[in-house]
């Protein structure tokens, strides 16, 4: 298959490139730094700076993961604009280009997040649930999904990845938490009662591949492990894996003062369940967060992109 990725140089994208290169697929990555793509994603992966570079080349699928990091800094007006532009408007550009193509790929797999549901409290959230609350992140995910769904009118199958917190060896949430936890300064955020839908990177890659291969898979999929945990439980598991105490707590008020509305991502959560993937027979390798953390923190070296 010839697969085009946006966000292919990111945490999930690089892992997908490794997996699909090994499977013999042909990969193109639309990137702001196309010259870096082969180094980041693998020597056989082609970087393109403009979509028209693929005009006239048959394409089987598009995986759309690009987006500026959402939890890195407070959501000022300029930051919100960038978060929106790098997801919603980028997806709209992608759709306009697809609409102009003579040959269209049959599938668009497009990013979203469990944040689509807003803060869900203790309610179990499956894909048939409406949003539980509205905030900037839920509006962003909603607009991102709506933009991607426009590909349905082009005759394409569209599957949406409502992704939880991706646990990986290098990058993502763990790389932000580990320095503090290793110093024994780790702990829960606020009350620690908020739910944390999480997923091991290997399962994220496997489920995206599963959705690529299943001709009937379309619509939203919660991309998170079958057993979400509360924040306090997650930090205890991380502390145990690192043999470090994790008793501290960052007060909710400090997070609200320091981060503004972004604090809602840390203090709220979703008890999201991957109902559609489970119904489809997808087999999660990691459903216990402690086993996932132990695997990621073990001495096994990170795979190289070669």
- Residue 9 near ligand NAP by CB under 6 A: yes
- Residue 272 near ligand NAP by CB under 6 A: no
Residue list 79-108, contact with ligand NAP (CB under 6 A): 82, 86, 90
Collapsing DSSP states into helix, strand and coil, what is residue 224?
coil
Site string for ligand NAP, 140-179 (x = CB under 6 A): -----------------------x-xx-----xx------
| Minimum distance from residue 245 beta carbon to ligand NAP (Å) | 25
Task: Pick the piece of the chain touching ligand NAP (CB under 6 A) from 50-58, 66-74, 121-129, 276-284.
Answer: 66-74
The beta strands (E) that lie in the chain are given as 2-6, 26-30, 46-48, 61-64, 107-113, 124-125, 157-163, 165-167, 187-189, 195-196, 198-200, 219-223, 229-230, 248-250, 271-272
Write phi, then psi, for 86 (nearest 5 degrees).
-75, -10
- Residue 7 near ligand NAP by CB under 6 A: yes
**Cα–Cα distance measured from residue 291 to residue 297, given in angstroms and rounded to the nearest whole number:** 10
| Minimum distance from residue 155 beta carbon to ligand NAP (Å) | 25
CA separation (Å) from 214 to 26, 107, 113, 163, 273? Answer: 19, 10, 21, 19, 20
CA separation (Å) from 167 to 124, 205, 238, 295? Answer: 21, 12, 11, 10
Q: Which residue is nearest to ligand NAP (CB)?
A: 10
Beta bridge partners, 174, equal none
- Residue 73 near ligand NAP by CB under 6 A: no
Task: Pick the piece of the chain touching ligand NAP (CB under 6 A) from 68-76, 247-255, 263-271, 279-287.
Answer: 68-76
In the complex with ligand NAP, which residue's Cβ is closer, 111 or 274?
111
**Binding footprint of ligand NAP on the chain (CB under 6 A):** 7, 9-13, 31-33, 65-70, 82, 86, 90, 111, 113, 163, 165-166, 172-173
């Amino acid at each position: 298959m010839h697969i085009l990725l946006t966000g292919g140089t990111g945490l999930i994208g690089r892992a997908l490139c490794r997996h699909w290169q090994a499977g013999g697929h042909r990969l193109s990555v639309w990137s702001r730094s196309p010259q870096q793509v082969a180094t980041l994603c693998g020597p056989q992966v082609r970087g393109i700076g403009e979509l028209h570079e693929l005009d006239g080349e048959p394409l089987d699928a598009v995986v759309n993961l690009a987006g500026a990091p959402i939890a890195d800094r407070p959501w000022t007006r300029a930051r919100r604009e960038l978060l929106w532009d790098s997801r919603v408007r980028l997806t709209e550009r992608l759709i306009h280009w697809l609409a102009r193509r003579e040959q269209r790929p049959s599938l668009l797999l497009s990013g979203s997040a469990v944040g689509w549901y807003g803060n869900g409290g203790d309610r179990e959230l499956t894909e048939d649930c409406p949003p539980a609350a509205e905030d900037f992140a839920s509006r962003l995910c909603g607009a991102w999904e709506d933009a991607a769904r426009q590909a349905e009118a082009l005759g394409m199958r569209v599957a949406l990845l409502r992704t939880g917190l991706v646990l990986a060896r290098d990058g993502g949430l763990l790389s932000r938490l580990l320095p503090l936890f290793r110093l024994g300064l780790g702990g829960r955020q606020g009350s620690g009662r908020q739910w944390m839908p999480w997923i091991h990177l290997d399962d994220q890659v496997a489920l995206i591949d599963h959705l690529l291969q299943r001709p009937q898979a379309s619509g939203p999929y919660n991309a998170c492990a079958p057993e979400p945990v509360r924040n306090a439980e997650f930090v205890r598991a991380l502390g145990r894996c690192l043999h470090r105490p994790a008793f501290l707590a960052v007060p909710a008020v400090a997070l609200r003062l320091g981060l503004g509305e972004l604090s809602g991502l840390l203090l709220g959560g979703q008890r999201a369940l991957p109902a559609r993937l489970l119904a489809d027979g997808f087999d999660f390798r990691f459903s216990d967060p402690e086993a996932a953390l132990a695997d990621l923190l073990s001495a096994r070296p990170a795979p190289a992109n070669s």
